[in-house]
């Protein structure tokens, strides 16, 4: 699938998202009309219109959520750096950057993509070995049990034998078992 340039293909994950949007939009009746930028004064006005500062007081839940943004245990930069320093992941990244097949490394060709220096397996971030303990600790912080922890982990991250490591951690926790 290409959009902006006929010879530049989109990554698989982006093409999949665009297909989902197209499928969703197919249920509507609409016309796409080109409008010059100068005709978009209404959008420009809304983005530039000054808003009075109110005396909004934040409740404790909102303050807590905002404070959590700054205390994220594993940041994108950490994953990019650890991916660059992991010998196994370096081989996968190199193969992806060079357009080589991943089958010689024991993976399917379309199994991984590279986005902003992070290795992705579908929509899951491939967690390098040096960060797995931190991710497990964060996933386990709420003591939600094995099924919830696995579900949460599978929604965001991946590494080989992740389920086995989660099971081992939960079985060793007195609060979870």
List, as one string, the DSSP characters of 139-170: HHTT---HHHHHHHHHHHEE-TTHHHHHHHHH
The per-residue pLDDT for 21 is 79
**One digit per residue, pLDDT tens: the chain, 177 residues?**
556 666 776 666 666 777 777 778 878 888 878 877 777 666 666 667 666 666 667 777 777 766 665 556 788 899 999 999 999 899 999 999 988 888 888 888 888 999 989 999 988 999 999 999 999 998 888 888 889 999 989 988 999 999 999 999 999 988 876
DSSP tag of 117: T
The per-residue pLDDT for 34 is 80
Q: Cα–Cα distances in Å, from 117 out to 6, 10, 99, 141?
A: 25, 16, 15, 27
Cβ(119)–Cβ(81) below 8 Å: no
The per-residue pLDDT for 69 is 59
Cβ count near 67 (within 10 Å): 9
């Amino acid at each position: 699938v290409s959009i902006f340039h006929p010879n530049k293909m989109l990554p698989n994950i982006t093409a999949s998202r665009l297909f989902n949007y197209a499928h969703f939009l197919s249920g509507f009746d609409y016309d796409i009309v080109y409008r010059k930028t100068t005709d978009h004064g209404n959008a420009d006005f809304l983005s530039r219109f000054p808003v009075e500062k109110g005396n909004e007081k934040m409740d404790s839940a909102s303050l807590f959520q905002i404070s959590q943004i700054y205390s994220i245990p594993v940041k994108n930069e950490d994953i990019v750096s650890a991916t660059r320093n992991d010998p196994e992941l370096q081989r996968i990244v190199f193969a992806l950057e060079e357009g080589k097949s991943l089958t010689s490394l024991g993976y399917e060709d379309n199994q991984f993509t590279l986005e902003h220096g992070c290795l992705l397996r579908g929509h899951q971030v491939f967690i390098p070995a040096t960060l797995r303990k931190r991710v497990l600790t964060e996933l386990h912080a709420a003591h939600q049990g094995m099924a919830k922890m696995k579900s949460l982990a599978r929604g965001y991250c991946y590494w080989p034998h992740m389920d086995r490591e989660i099971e081992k951690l939960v079985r060793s926790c007195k609060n979870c078992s």
